[in-house]
Amino acid sequence: MKAIIEIDGMDELLAKIKTLQELKPVIAAMKSAAVYVKGKAAEYPEQKTITRASVYGSSFKSDKQRRYFFWALRKGKIEVPYRRGMSPGSKAFGRRWTIAAQNNGLTQVVGNNVAYGPYLMHTVVQTAYAKAMGWRTTKEIADEVEPVVKEYLQEYIDRYLKE
């Protein structure tokens, strides 16, 4: 003789377990967290007025650099004062941040493809001038957002499991 036991909500529970096995809620949370990280990375430092001489001790490192600067200024390749996002040579760094999903969405890569980006924010190659201007490195940003992202992901998964 067999006994049949019915559990109210079993179909919903099995569907939730299947969805969790597929990691759909985690992927959705990862996408949301990536948007948050992108927003933090895209923040510009407060506008400051500093001179190269105040950072490096002199305006130009070499006569060649000085000649190039004045040539580029005459040709309109650079503009003084520099205007973020509008001056020649500006690649609108703040608007070039993107998010790319990898590993079926379990990895979210936040990046910027502007060629001069590493000189602004890379931990190893950031220039002294960019640091003096207040640009944070990507490592500093990652260290800042890591606890927030971890807490958000944990809360998101916990909330999903309680539903």
pLDDT of residue 58: 80
For the chain, give every domain's residue range: 22-162
d(CA 141, CA 36): 11
- Enumerate residues 6+ apart whose C-beta is below 8 A from 26: 106, 153, 157
Please say if the pLDDT value at position 86 is more than 80.
no
Produce one character per residue of 98-109: b if its CB has 16 or more CB atoms within 10 Å, e if not.
eeeeeeeeeebe
d(CA 131, CA 84): 17
pLDDT digits (tens, 9 = 90+) for 130-161: 999 999 999 999 999 999 999 998 888 888 77
Tokens of 33: 């967290």
Please say if the pLDDT value at position 101 is more than 70.
yes
Which residue type is seen at 57?
G
